[in-house]
Structure 1
Amino acid sequence: MANHASAEKRNRQSKTRRLRNRINKSKINTAIRRVDDALAAGAQDGAQDVLKKAMSVIHKTAGKGTIHKNTAARKISRLTKRVNRTLAAA
């Protein structure tokens, strides 16, 4: 329990930031799931379009500080590899 006004404010800020971070991480997971769905459906052009959108979402989240920039780079790299591997096999 916060005993000072500054501690109460810090508590309010952390709640707001936690919700904002959760929303942004959820957007990342949704974007990645859409890429996986496009790959499973075999839509080659669709997979590349969805990959571009997913990359944008991941970069924006890293820019806001929700995830680390290296984490964003790793996620994008792995997604891109997966899409390229699937397209090469098709």
Structure 2
Amino acid sequence: MANHKSALKRIRNSETKRLRNRYQFKTTRNAIKKLKDATNKKEAEKLFPEVTSMIDKLAKNNVIHDNKAANLKSQISRHIAAL
């Protein structure tokens, strides 16, 4: 266990951030799944800006790597184009 006040605060902060990151990443993954399951092109195109925004926010906050974000956006845009 940590001995310094600052270390205890750091543990609390990092746990809070970890939970927030997990929640945001899980929400984004669910949104991506919803978009990929969409069979209607119009519906998928409506979801696309929302999902890309979520992915960009994760990349900006270093929850996921920038390249992973680019790959995910590319993947879902190819999926929409194929519909």
| Same fold flag (TM > 0.5) | yes
1:19 corresponds to which letter in structure 2? L
CA deviation after TM superposition for structure 1 residue 65, in Å: 2.2
Q: How many residues align?
A: 83
Residues in 2 aligned to 1:36 and 1:77: alpha-carbon distance in whole angstroms: 13
Residues in 2 aligned to 1:59 and 1:75: alpha-carbon distance in whole angstroms: 10
Residues in 1 aligned to 2:42 and 2:79: alpha-carbon distance in whole angstroms: 14
Matched, 1:56 2:63: no
* 5+ long unaligned stretches in structure 2: none
Matched, 1:15 2:15: yes
Say which structure, 1 or 2, has more relative contact order (CA 8 Å, 6+ apart): 2
Across the aligned residues of Structure 1 and Structure 2, the Cα RMSD in angstroms comes to: 1.2
Residues in 1 aligned to 2:26 and 2:57: alpha-carbon distance in whole angstroms: 13
2:71 corresponds to which letter in structure 1? R
Residues in 1 aligned to 2:57 and 2:3: alpha-carbon distance in whole angstroms: 36
Deviations 1:2-60 (A, max 9, x none): 1111210110111011011011101211110110221xxx2110011112211111112
* 5+ long unaligned stretches in structure 1: none
1:71 corresponds to which letter in structure 2? K
After TM superposition, where is structure 1 displaced by more than 2 Å over at least 4 residues in a row?
A: none
Please name the residue that 1:24 is paired with. Answer: 24
Q: How high is the TM-score relative to the length of structure 1?
A: 0.82
